[in-house]
Structure formats: C-alpha cells, structure tokens
Structure 1
C-alpha cells in the first residue's frame, strides 16, 4: 500500500478532532478496518504461577510489565480482531486490579492496527483514567468516541496517546512487544497471519505522528560482542531512549532495571537455551556494548540506521 508523508501531514488530528476521524483515516492507511468486538473473543493470557528457581518475589513467572496493579492478575485477553494479506489488528483487554478477578469486566483496552507491507501503524487506547470498569463488548473507534457508551468511557485522542500513553516508548523495534507475558499467544496469531519474525525486524515501521517517524536502530560498524544480539534483533532508539535500549535489555537477562522500581523482575528469556554456552558474565558484556551505542550512537563502533519508511 503506497502512502506519501504529505498525506500523513495533512490528516494528523488535532486535539479538537474526534477519534472517529483518526480511525477512519487509519483504516485507509493501514488497509484494514476495525469493527465492534468482544473481549471474550480473545484468548485468555495464561499466567504461570509456579515460582522459578530464583524464587523471585512475584507469584508468577510471566508478569505483566506495565507496572499497574497486580502484575500476575489472571483473566486478561489477547485477540486477533481481523487480518488480510497485508495487515493485521491485535487487541488486548487488560485486568490489573484484583477486584476484576471474577466480575467479567476489564480495566483497559488497547488495539494495534498494522500494515506489514507499508509499515503504517495506528494505536488505540481506552481512557487512561476510566470512571468505571469496562464491559467486554467494545465499540469501534471508527463509529464511536466511546469504548463503552453506557459508562461514557472514551477512546483516548491520538494527541493524548502521544503525551501520556507513549506507545512508541515500548513498541519501538516493531509494533508488537513479545514479552513472556503474551509471547506464545502473540506468536501464534502472527504465524496464522504469515507474519514472520524476520518480516518484523526487517520491515518498515512508522506511525502517523511526525515525532515518531524518525525511529532508528543500533548496529555495529566494528567487531563487538553486541553483534550476538543485533544479528537477530532490531534494537531501536526512541525519543525517550528508554525501555528497548535500557529496561528491556536488562529484563531479557533477568536483571532488575532500577530505573523502573515498580516493574517486577522476570526470568531471563534471552538467549534461548543458553545458546553458544553464553554465560551471564558474557551476556552482561553484550548488554553493556549495546547500551553504550544507545547512549552514544556516534561512537566509533556504532552505526545507527533509520527504520525505513516506505512512501
């Protein structure tokens, strides 16, 4: 799907414009539409309650990493709303308050709408400070300003997503963050959509926000242990230079990131199965190499490339 940056500039919504306008334009650019749906159509995110060998403090092995409420709360749902040859829509209905355990309601709803060929991506987020819990039947943002009309729970305006939700601060490498919390279900959806990991890390990725269209990722000009990660993974910078280049790197090795004290430490999930006999000491050296290029991308060993935008 061919879309020019000129067209994007001309339809970026202001705070006075509605989510419906934004959604209808996103449907055109992403090449796929979002309709009404039910959270109950998603798959429940399994929580592994058996403690791991490190006896970490949280009661599960794959906590949510949002830093909200109970990170091991059960009952959240992840779903593939729709897909076609070019695009995919994924939704998540989150529960993070213990009071949601058995009431059939949700604390938060979010959607990712992505064209895997052009890279065009739009986010949708329910009210970050809702006045009530959210029932499972969700109104499409192209048809209503409200996630739930009865309780007057709105979809956040795009300007608020940029200022407060800051989606790209986590969704930096590509649209989908495959943490241990959702990894298995997410990868199953993407396989059904014939959207491979290689497609994700090599494809274009951009959003209809000018501030978010200059994402770059770290590579290495000279030999470095960091290449053991960047040969397979895209490690991207974002405007705040956090999460992917900082917190997520530490978390992948099971290390606590002290800049986010409210986020639980999780089991190491990279490298898989201790590939190449990689010790924790060597892994920490790799992590330090990558972080050094994140912090000083003009360093002599570093190369920072744009996440190519197709136009």
Structure 2
C-alpha cells in the first residue's frame, strides 16, 4: 500500500509540469512574450492609418458604392470571395521603430464612412528584423463592427476607463493558429506579403524579405516554413518563395496563371494580371521570355512532395536567434 501511495504521489508531481506545458497560452501571456522578445505594440487608432485605394477600371467607385469586383481586391482569402474584398476605406498603419516592425491592418467588411470608428477586423503582424521572431494578432469578431478608436496593446492588462481590454479586443493565439489556412501558411516565406492591393501602400509596410523568420508562442511553434529554389531562377532575387500557400495560389496569381477572387476584367488583363516583379515595365511577350521558365520550374517543385527532384532545393527559413 505504501508503495502504491508513493507511486501515486510521484505521478502527481510529474503531472504538474506536463499539465502546465499542455495548458493553452493565454492572450496576455502571448502578448507579454511578444513584447519581451519583439517589442511593445502601442495603442493606436485605426483612423490614423492610410486608406488602401479601391478602383474599378482605373477609377475610384462612386460615393456609396460597394463594388464586388475591382482592379486590386484584397487577398486576405485568396481562394474564395470574401466580404469587403473591394470595399473602400480599409487602412494600414506602420507602427515600427528600430528593429521592431509592426504592421496593423484595419479592414472594412461593411460599407462605412472613411472616418467611421467601426471596423470589422483588425490584424497585427509584429516582427523583429534582428532576431526574426514574429507574432500574430487578430481582433475578436463582432456582428456590428469593432470600435477601433483605441486598439489596445495585446499585453495591456488594464485599459483606460471606457475602452476595451486586450482580452476583450483580441482573440486567443490558439484560435488564430487553428484557422485554416493559418496566417503562417500564407506568410510562408516571411512576415509581410506583397499583393497588388497592399502594394498600393507598400511604403507604409515594413519589409524583411530575406531575414530570419520564425513564429513564437506555443500555438505557432510547430510550424517550420520551407522555401523553394531552382538553379538560375528569376523569381527569387528579391525575396524567398515559400512552399505552402505560395505553391497553392500565390505563384499562380502573381504570374497570371490564376485569377484572384474579386478581380474585375481590368485586373485579369496584362499587366495587372502579372504582378511580379513589382516594378514590371515589360510587354507581355518580354515578361514571358524573362519569367515563364522560372515560374514553371517553381510550380514543378511545388508538385515534388517527396523532395527528390535534383532541380528543386527545399530549405528551412533561417530561424530566429535570442538577440534583440
């Protein structure tokens, strides 16, 4: 009996750290970790951001119009139509300082006035260009919109009177990580993605296309981004190519092989249909001569699930360090 009691006691003692490890990381714990290892996200007002332009056949929509198709739809959901993909007055903010890179995106899914404080989604990417660590934050869904006049830091325990707390405003990291595809599946080569939509305000986006990149927090730790290269490939001079959603959609979208949900006829014609390289001034024939072989090579590697092709190199993205 004494032996049984001792064994039971040992099991209980051993189970304590295992239970602690298995426990889901809270929003505040994740926010505090990100603040320590990347940098504090300051409070902000979405209306201080820069409008992301919406045009239809090269012209802004008329006041009060809510177009379903446009020249440069958002690609937040690149494989299916999404609410707000062509609505005006979504905004972007660059909250970066030093090596701490912070991009905030305030999204409209319902038509509202430019300076209406209500938004439908707020997302933040925080990245440290020195150590490569990256965090992801997304607001909780609200049926009638989110008051984004003061977006709280995800590590803030007590907000000013009359404002939502971080726990009320932000969803948990586990729920973000459980979404399919995950943030990291789309951001499979680095923390910040170019698209025709976001490219209109690219000067407001921090960039680190070839630096270290890893995702901290218990909910994201299992994901290890991998990149693809082929000999002499024209598509990898300025940035990496990831092997997840880049393979599934982004290579095809950027090279005119796929049509983005929300594209109007103007968007489906060259040159808007081919948005890599970003400074493209070539004719379509010149673009094909310069890039088609490279695109074909990458797409062939995307199909190489066993990584056996001698023409394809699969490399883990350089992971983070512990320096700041």
Name the TM-score, length of structure 2 as normaliser: 0.74
1:40 corresponds in structure 2 to: 47
1:76 corresponds in structure 2 to: 90
8 Å contact from structure 1 (residues 125, 161) kept in 2: yes
- 1:81-120 to 2 correspondence within 5 Å? 81-84=95-98, 86-98=99-111, 103-120=116-133
1:140 corresponds in structure 2 to: 153
1:298 corresponds in structure 2 to: 308
Determine which of 245, 248, 261 is the counterpart of 1:246.
248
1:149 and 2:164 correspond: yes
8 Å contact from structure 1 (residues 51, 59) kept in 2: no
8 Å contact from structure 1 (residues 14, 159) kept in 2: no
3-state SS in 2 of match to 1:64: coil
Unpaired runs of at least 5, structure 1: 1-10
3-state SS in 1 of match to 2:209: helix
- 1:232-271 to 2 correspondence within 5 Å? 232-237=238-243, 241=244, 243-256=245-258, 262=261, 264=263, 266=267, 267=272, 268-271=274-277
Distance 2:115 2:212 in 1: 41
- 1:111-260 to 2 correspondence within 5 Å? 111-127=124-140, 129-137=141-149, 138-144=151-157, 149=164, 154-164=169-179, 166-190=182-206, 200-208=208-216, 209-212=220-223, 214-220=224-230, 222=231, 227-237=233-243, 241=244, 243-256=245-258
8 Å contact from structure 1 (residues 20, 145) kept in 2: no
3-state SS in 2 of match to 1:217: strand
2:286 corresponds in structure 1 to: 278
3-state SS in 1 of match to 2:95: strand
8 Å contact from structure 1 (residues 219, 303) kept in 2: yes
3-state SS in 2 of match to 1:25: helix
Listed one character per residue, the Cα deviations across residues 172-205 of structure 1 (whole Å, up to 9, x for unaligned) are: 1111112111124233443xxxx5xxxx232110
Alpha-carbon shift at residue 71 of structure 1 (Å): 1.6
8 Å contact from structure 2 (residues 47, 115) kept in 1: no
3-state SS in 2 of match to 1:201: coil
8 Å contact from structure 1 (residues 18, 145) kept in 2: no
Alpha-carbon shift at residue 233 of structure 1 (Å): 3.0
Distance 1:13 1:93 in 2: 33
8 Å contact from structure 2 (residues 52, 200) kept in 1: no
Pair member with larger Rg: 2
3-state SS in 2 of match to 1:255: coil
Structure 1 residues 13 and 81, CA, compared in 2 at 3 Å: closer, same or farther? farther
3-state SS in 2 of match to 1:248: helix
Name the TM-score, length of structure 1 as normaliser: 0.76
Alpha-carbon shift at residue 285 of structure 1 (Å): 4.0
Structure 1 residues 61 and 145, CA, compared in 2 at 3 Å: closer, same or farther? farther
Count of aligned residue pairs for this structure pair: 271
